[in-house]
Structure 1
Amino acid sequence: MGLDLNKLEHLIAVAEEGSITRAAARLHLSQQALSASIRVLEREVGVPLLDRTATGVSLLPAGAALLEDARALRGAARSALHRARRIGRGEKEVLRLGHTPAVTGEEIITLLRQVGAAHPHMATDVNQRYPHELTDALLAGDLDIGLCRAMTPPHGLARTTLAHQPLSIAVAADHPLATRTSVALSELIGQHFIVWGQPGHSAYTDLLINYCHAAGFEPRIERTPRQGTPPATAVIGTDRLAFVTTPPGPAADGAVRVLALDPPLYAPLHALYSPRTTSPAKDAFLRRRVDLSGL
């Protein structure tokens, strides 16, 4: 039995819109045509997929399970078409790389320099995405690799660890701790920490909070309003602290001082990717042994 990708696209739209009417408008179909397509899909699968009520539609467990695979299949199909067209047109392969704000530009440059040394003809297209945008783009086949920290891959994606980097503490240059070169995490009880994600919704934030718990305290945290900027700059003009992977010493043209953690703690650098897609550039990147010790 084969699955019609168009019908899966219809299921995705209905699930995301929560309404046949809105999904039909999004797909430029009549409501009758969309409803008929979903019912045909249910007959092909052999079980109901949607719970239809007067106020809208919602996924039944079988529909939710099919939706997860449908998104991954749609992304794999889009990647296959993109690859075939590129090869047919004689175009160069481009590694489409995304990263969350927790991965700095310096780290990206170092990674690409190392990969470029082994594969000098590899072209790259790099852009920053927020975590949910990163996973959506990977599932949709719009990115080949997503670099992040501690993110749990959703259904359809895989994760590999590229490196573990030492964590440091960033403070503004006029902060009382700025005269120090290192600090123990246990010394920071009562300090306010700037983070980039909400606890319980960001695996990286949860990792940092767990480090504080292991040091014997509950950290006071607040989410930075400066989303998308280099992590070390978040403390400028504040009395807050931030966990960063920036090397110890002055940063941000002297506006920030970065302190080493003693004993050291580490942050993982992860790569998310779809195992269903074919990309020599992606495979070459993932095979590369990463060394970020020079940062």
Structure 2
Amino acid sequence: MADLRRLRYFLAVAQERNFTRAAERLHIAQPALSRQVRQLEQELGVRLLDRTTQSVEPTEAGRLLMERGAALCDEADRLWRDVRGYAAGESGSLSFGYSASTGYETAPTLLAALAEAHPGIRTSTRLLPTGEILAGVADGTLDVGLVRCPPPAPQLVRTLVRLEPQGVLMAEGHPLAGRPAVDVAALAGEILLTHARGDNPGHYDAIAGIFERAGVSPRLRERHLSFDAAQMPVAQGDAVSVVGESARPGLPAGLVWRPLSPAAAIEIHLLTRGDTERPATARLLRVASGTARARGWLRSPS
């Protein structure tokens, strides 16, 4: 296959119709340019230029090479830029897994910030249970995961992106709904709706810790439905739930959220594999760090 460099030399001569002007444009010596064009003709086995003392004109074969060679060089330039973009993290793809709770605000905010900062990175997203996110990042099925309170794992790197203030989700007619904040001790007699510990042990233990520190033991009701946008048991007044403040803006009618007192927060981490980190993943981590600082996500609630 002919050298692309020689093709570019030929194109310059054919466009300028003059070896001297083409050599000046390419910043090379004219004899070297003439030699490169002759070598291209030898490689292709055809005369590309008709040379006279007054002018240089492309032959029929030369005109064909001009027409299609320019497009070939443009495509090669785009390809080189794209490949370099992968190495720099400016292009590429990311598979991103997130849990339902992080989908209210944290995941969309981070992904929007990444798209704005690096539009060349294509992101595919998957809403998954926490256990599947952990397994997916560990085995490489996912590049990045976003979860609450992930457990330490030797092959995973945790990057804290948010300390999310927690509050009580309840029916608007609940006796505690009129308070600006709900004291943890006031929940002693309530039924607390929670997921099974096996679904996310870290988050379960973090919520349990809030009550243990206050010396409170609420009545727990485990829920095995993975997603319920209407929050039916809570809306019906059968239970309350402790959820992050990111759920507040999109609450169904009839529900209210009040912050806990004393203030409490749950950690949200990005998970990556340190041994196989890709340039695009590194870009996401930098964007996430900047976004977290700008939004005050890492400040402890008070």
Residue 277 (structure 1) aligns with: 276
SS of 2:274 mapped into structure 1: coil
For the 8 Å contact 2:104–2:246, the answer to whether it is kept is: no
What amino acid is aligned across from residue 128 of structure 1 in structure 2?
Answer: L
Could you say if the C-alpha distance between residues 266 and 194 of structure 1 is closer, same or farther in structure 2, counting changes exceeding 3 Å?
same
Q: Which residue of 2 aligns with 1:125?
A: 124
After TM superposition, the structure 1 = structure 2 runs for residues 1-295 of structure 1, keeping only pairs within 5 Å, are 93-198=92-197, 202-230=201-229, 235-246=234-245, 251-288=250-287, 289=289, 290-291=291-292, 292=295
TM-score, normalised by the number of residues in structure 2: 0.61
Deviation of 1:148 (Å) = 0.8
Unmatched 5+ stretches in structure 1:
1-83
Moved more, 231-240 or 264-273: 231-240
Residue 278 to residue 225, structure 1, CA distance change in 2 (3 Å): closer
**Contact 2:95–2:142 under 8 Å retained in 1:** yes
Tell me which moved more, 128-137 or 251-260.
Answer: 251-260
State the secondary structure of the residue aligned to 2:284: helix
> What secondary structure does 2:245 align onto?
coil
The structure whose Rg is larger is 2
Q: CA deviation at 1:284?
A: 1.1
CA separation of 1:202 and 1:249: change in aligned 2, threshold 3 A:
closer
Alpha-carbon distance in 2 for matches of 1:156, 1:243: 31
1:201 positional shift: 6.0
1:247–1:146 CA distance, 2 compared to 1 (3 A): closer
CA distance in 1, matches of 2:115, 2:236: 38
Tell me the secondary structure at the aligned position of residue 176 of structure 1: coil
* 3-state SS of 2:270 partner: strand
Give a deviation string over 1:241-288, Cα, whole Å, max 9, x none.
111113586753323110112221111111111111131221111122
Q: Residues 239 and 253 of structure 1: is their aligned pair in 2 closer, same or farther, counting only changes over 3 Å?
A: same
Q: What's 1:33 paired with?
A: none
The letter of the residue matching 2:188 is I
> RMSD of the TM alignment (CA)?
3.0
TM-score of the two chains, using structure 1 as the length reference: 0.62
Instruction: Determine helix, strand or coil for the equivalent of 1:175.
Output: coil
SS at match of 2:276: coil
Distance 1:254 1:293 in 2: 28
Contact 1:104 1:231 in 2 (8 A): no
Aligned to 1:20: none
**3-state DSSP of counterpart to 1:240:** coil
Supply the distance in 2 between the matched residues of 1:234 and 1:156 (Cα, whole angstroms). 38
Gaps of 5+ in 2: 1-82, 298-302
Distance 2:140 2:132 in 1: 12
Higher mean displacement: 132-141 or 283-292:
283-292
Determine what percentage of the aligned residue pairs are the same residue.
24
CA contact (8 A) 2:98 2:127 kept: yes
CA deviation after TM superposition for structure 1 residue 93, in Å: 1.5
Rounded to whole Å, the distance in 2 between the matches of 1:234 and 1:101 is 18
Residue type of the alignment partner of 1:241: V
Change in 2 beyond 3 A, CA 1:162/1:247: closer
Amino acid in structure 1 at the alignment position of 2:156:
L
Please say if residues 157 and 271 of structure 2, whose CA atoms lie closer than 8 Å, have aligned partners that are also in contact.
yes
Aligned partners of 1:96, 1:250: CA distance in 2, in Å? Answer: 27
Displacement of 1:234: 6.1
Find the residue that maps to 1:226 and give its secondary structure.
coil
Which string of whole-angstrom CA distances, capped at 9 and with x for unpartnered residues, describes residues 225-254 of structure 1?
331345966622242111111358675332
Seen in structure 2, the aligned counterparts of structure 1 residues 201 and 129 have a Cα distance that, compared at 3 Å, is closer
How many residues in Structure 1 have an aligned counterpart in Structure 2? 208
Contact 2:106 2:246 in 1 (8 A): no
